Amino acid sequence: MLEQVKSFFSNYLLMSALVSWFGAQVVKVFTGMFKDRKFNLATLLFSTGGMPSSHAAVVCGLAVASIVLNGWGSSFTAIAIVLAIIVMIDASGVRYETGKQARILNQMMKELFLGQNEAFNTTLKELVGHTPFQVFVGAIFGIVCALILAIFMVW
Protein backbone atom coordinates (compact mmCIF):
# COMPACT_ATOMS: atom_id res chain seq x y z
CA MET A 1 0.00 0.00 0.00
CA LEU A 2 2.79 2.44 0.91
CA GLU A 3 4.51 1.68 -2.39
CA GLN A 4 1.33 2.57 -4.30
CA VAL A 5 1.01 5.89 -2.47
CA LYS A 6 4.67 6.64 -3.19
CA SER A 7 4.15 5.71 -6.83
CA PHE A 8 1.13 8.01 -7.05
CA PHE A 9 3.02 11.02 -5.68
CA SER A 10 6.07 10.34 -7.85
CA ASN A 11 4.04 10.41 -11.08
CA TYR A 12 5.39 13.63 -12.60
CA LEU A 13 2.65 13.91 -15.23
CA LEU A 14 -0.13 13.56 -12.70
CA MET A 15 1.51 15.80 -10.11
CA SER A 16 2.08 18.53 -12.71
CA ALA A 17 -1.63 18.50 -13.55
CA LEU A 18 -2.84 18.32 -9.95
CA VAL A 19 -0.45 20.93 -8.56
CA SER A 20 -1.32 23.26 -11.44
CA TRP A 21 -5.05 22.83 -10.75
CA PHE A 22 -4.76 23.20 -6.98
CA GLY A 23 -2.41 26.16 -7.24
CA ALA A 24 -4.71 27.94 -9.70
CA GLN A 25 -7.68 27.33 -7.41
CA VAL A 26 -5.78 28.77 -4.43
CA VAL A 27 -4.85 31.86 -6.45
CA LYS A 28 -8.49 32.11 -7.57
CA VAL A 29 -9.60 32.38 -3.92
CA PHE A 30 -7.41 35.45 -3.49
CA THR A 31 -8.20 37.08 -6.83
CA GLY A 32 -11.89 36.56 -6.06
CA MET A 33 -11.38 38.05 -2.61
CA PHE A 34 -9.71 41.09 -4.17
CA LYS A 35 -12.47 41.47 -6.78
CA ASP A 36 -15.54 40.77 -4.61
CA ARG A 37 -14.14 42.05 -1.29
CA LYS A 38 -15.09 38.81 0.47
CA PHE A 39 -13.33 35.57 1.32
CA ASN A 40 -14.95 32.48 -0.19
CA LEU A 41 -13.22 29.20 0.63
CA ALA A 42 -15.79 27.23 -1.42
CA THR A 43 -14.05 28.71 -4.48
CA LEU A 44 -11.09 26.46 -3.72
CA LEU A 45 -12.88 23.27 -4.73
CA PHE A 46 -16.06 24.21 -6.51
CA SER A 47 -15.59 27.32 -8.61
CA THR A 48 -15.49 27.57 -12.38
CA GLY A 49 -14.55 30.71 -14.21
CA GLY A 50 -12.44 33.42 -12.64
CA MET A 51 -8.76 34.29 -12.58
CA PRO A 52 -6.68 32.30 -13.40
CA SER A 53 -8.22 29.52 -15.44
CA SER A 54 -7.56 26.26 -13.64
CA HIS A 55 -8.69 24.44 -16.80
CA ALA A 56 -5.84 26.02 -18.75
CA ALA A 57 -3.42 25.44 -15.87
CA VAL A 58 -4.19 21.71 -15.73
CA VAL A 59 -3.89 20.99 -19.43
CA CYS A 60 -0.80 23.14 -19.92
CA GLY A 61 0.87 21.60 -16.88
CA LEU A 62 0.13 18.16 -18.32
CA ALA A 63 1.36 19.10 -21.80
CA VAL A 64 4.64 20.56 -20.50
CA ALA A 65 5.21 17.54 -18.28
CA SER A 66 4.72 15.30 -21.31
CA ILE A 67 7.21 17.38 -23.30
CA VAL A 68 9.75 17.13 -20.45
CA LEU A 69 9.33 13.36 -20.07
CA ASN A 70 8.65 12.24 -23.63
CA GLY A 71 9.90 14.98 -25.94
CA TRP A 72 8.13 16.88 -28.70
CA GLY A 73 7.83 13.87 -31.02
CA SER A 74 5.90 11.68 -28.61
CA SER A 75 2.34 10.58 -29.29
CA PHE A 76 1.54 11.35 -25.64
CA THR A 77 2.77 14.91 -26.12
CA ALA A 78 0.68 15.31 -29.25
CA ILE A 79 -2.43 14.15 -27.38
CA ALA A 80 -1.69 16.47 -24.45
CA ILE A 81 -1.16 19.49 -26.71
CA VAL A 82 -4.35 18.84 -28.69
CA LEU A 83 -6.27 18.39 -25.43
CA ALA A 84 -4.84 21.68 -24.12
CA ILE A 85 -5.90 23.54 -27.26
CA ILE A 86 -9.44 22.14 -27.14
CA VAL A 87 -9.90 22.87 -23.43
CA MET A 88 -8.56 26.42 -23.67
CA ILE A 89 -10.66 27.27 -26.72
CA ASP A 90 -13.72 25.85 -24.98
CA ALA A 91 -13.01 27.70 -21.72
CA SER A 92 -12.64 31.07 -23.41
CA GLY A 93 -15.15 30.53 -26.18
CA VAL A 94 -18.24 28.40 -25.72
CA ARG A 95 -18.25 28.41 -21.91
CA TYR A 96 -17.58 32.16 -21.72
CA GLU A 97 -20.45 32.88 -24.12
CA THR A 98 -22.71 30.59 -22.08
CA GLY A 99 -21.98 32.74 -19.03
CA LYS A 100 -22.87 35.92 -20.93
CA GLN A 101 -26.14 34.34 -22.07
CA ALA A 102 -26.95 33.26 -18.50
CA ARG A 103 -26.39 36.83 -17.29
CA ILE A 104 -28.84 38.17 -19.90
CA LEU A 105 -31.44 35.47 -19.17
CA ASN A 106 -31.21 36.10 -15.42
CA GLN A 107 -31.77 39.82 -15.98
CA MET A 108 -34.71 39.15 -18.31
CA MET A 109 -36.35 36.80 -15.83
CA LYS A 110 -35.81 39.26 -12.98
CA GLU A 111 -37.52 42.03 -14.94
CA LEU A 112 -40.27 39.79 -16.30
CA PHE A 113 -41.25 38.35 -12.94
CA LEU A 114 -40.59 41.43 -10.81
CA GLY A 115 -42.31 40.94 -7.46
CA GLN A 116 -43.35 37.35 -8.25
CA ASN A 117 -40.74 35.35 -6.35
CA GLU A 118 -42.55 32.06 -6.77
CA ALA A 119 -42.73 32.33 -10.56
CA PHE A 120 -38.99 32.13 -11.03
CA ASN A 121 -36.76 31.45 -8.07
CA THR A 122 -33.77 29.88 -9.81
CA THR A 123 -30.91 31.76 -11.40
CA LEU A 124 -28.52 30.39 -13.97
CA LYS A 125 -24.83 30.23 -13.11
CA GLU A 126 -23.15 33.14 -14.85
CA LEU A 127 -19.48 32.48 -14.19
CA VAL A 128 -18.80 29.32 -16.20
CA GLY A 129 -16.09 30.38 -18.63
CA HIS A 130 -13.01 32.55 -18.84
CA THR A 131 -11.82 35.61 -20.66
CA PRO A 132 -8.90 35.01 -23.01
CA PHE A 133 -6.63 36.78 -20.50
CA GLN A 134 -7.72 34.44 -17.68
CA VAL A 135 -6.96 31.47 -19.93
CA PHE A 136 -3.57 32.93 -20.84
CA VAL A 137 -2.65 33.47 -17.18
CA GLY A 138 -3.83 29.96 -16.31
CA ALA A 139 -1.74 28.50 -19.14
CA ILE A 140 1.37 30.34 -17.93
CA PHE A 141 0.65 29.21 -14.37
CA GLY A 142 0.43 25.54 -15.48
CA ILE A 143 3.62 25.79 -17.54
CA VAL A 144 5.53 27.31 -14.63
CA CYS A 145 4.22 24.69 -12.18
CA ALA A 146 5.26 21.84 -14.47
CA LEU A 147 8.73 23.32 -14.96
CA ILE A 148 9.25 23.86 -11.23
CA LEU A 149 8.14 20.30 -10.50
CA ALA A 150 10.51 19.03 -13.21
CA ILE A 151 13.42 20.50 -11.25
CA PHE A 152 12.48 18.42 -8.21
CA MET A 153 11.09 15.28 -9.84
CA VAL A 154 12.85 14.77 -13.17
CA TRP A 155 16.09 16.70 -13.65
Does residue 147 share a domain with residue 121?
no
- Residue 136 backbone dihedrals phi, psi, to 5 degrees: -60, -45
Decide if 87 contacts 60 (C-beta within 8 A).
Answer: no
Q: Can you give the pLDDT at residue 37?
A: 75
Closest listed residue to residue 94, CA positions, set 55, 47, 45, 143:
55
Domain that holds residue 144: 15-24+48-93+132-155
Residue 67 located in a structural domain: yes
For the segment 139-147, the average pLDDT, to the nearest whole number, is: 98
> pLDDT band at residue 44, thresholds of 50, 70 and 90?
low
Residue 59 located in a structural domain: yes
Does residue 60 share a domain with residue 88?
yes
Does residue 155 share a domain with residue 136?
yes
> In whole numbers, what is the pLDDT of the chain averaged over residues?
85
- Residue 141 backbone dihedrals phi, psi, to 5 degrees: -60, -45
pTM of the model: 0.80
Residue 72 located in a structural domain: yes
Does residue 86 share a domain with residue 60?
yes
- pLDDT higher at 93 or 9: 9
CA dihedral in degrees (60, 19, 93, 68; nearest 10)? Answer: 0
Residue 35 located in a structural domain: no
* Nearby residues of 4 by Cβ (< 8 Å), 6 or more positions away: none
> Diameter of the chain by CA atoms?
64
Residue 82 located in a structural domain: yes
Q: Can you give the pLDDT at residue 121?
A: 62
> pLDDT band at residue 124, thresholds of 50, 70 and 90?
low
Q: How many domains does the chain have?
A: 2
Q: Can you give the pLDDT at residue 42?
A: 66
Decide if 137 contacts 28 (C-beta within 8 A).
Answer: no
